[in-house]
Amino acid sequence: MLEPIFIALAVSVRLATLAISMRNERILRARGAVEHGAMTSKAIALAHVAFYLCAIAEGIGSTSQPGWTNDLGIIVYILSVCALFWVIATLGRLWTVKLYIAPDHRLATNWLFRRVRHPNYFLNIIPELIGLALVLDAWVTLAIGLPLYLVILALRIREEERIMGYTFAQY
């Protein structure tokens, strides 16, 4: 019975962060920011939505009984959301789901970004998807969807590394 509540909360978190991203994108564009890797951003967005929809569909159709993997999934998911909000708070107006470079863009050099390269991806997105799949017993989605998502994410990381290295000598 926890499943519908979890699904509603997970979707709400993603919609809320999408609203933050869209607000920040408008501000960044108004200040002259340039988007990079637009096709990859679209692919990631599509993959994220597809992963969620597949996991939800698989979870709704699941006949398995709640167990420790579901509990682990909730913990992993909650930690991933905490990481997401930490990244959003750290980057402030620069945080978006797309890759923008603003004219006054400053490289994040705080503790989190010095210790973890791409914390939004490695501390939020990947654990979020794993946690979601575990909570919903979406094993097929996890086995097929996560590797496909990781291919797109690797492309995004490569693009981000390239543009950050070009933009910031100290990167």
CATH class of 2-167: mainly alpha
pLDDT digits (tens, 9 = 90+) for 88-126: 999 999 999 999 999 988 888 899 999 999 999 999 999
Entry pTM: 0.93
Query: Which residues does 66 contact at the CB level (< 8 Å), separation at least 6?
Result: 2
CA distance linking residue 108 with residue 114, whole number of Å = 8
The domain spans of the chain are: 2-167
pLDDT digits (tens, 9 = 90+) for 5-16: 999 999 999 999
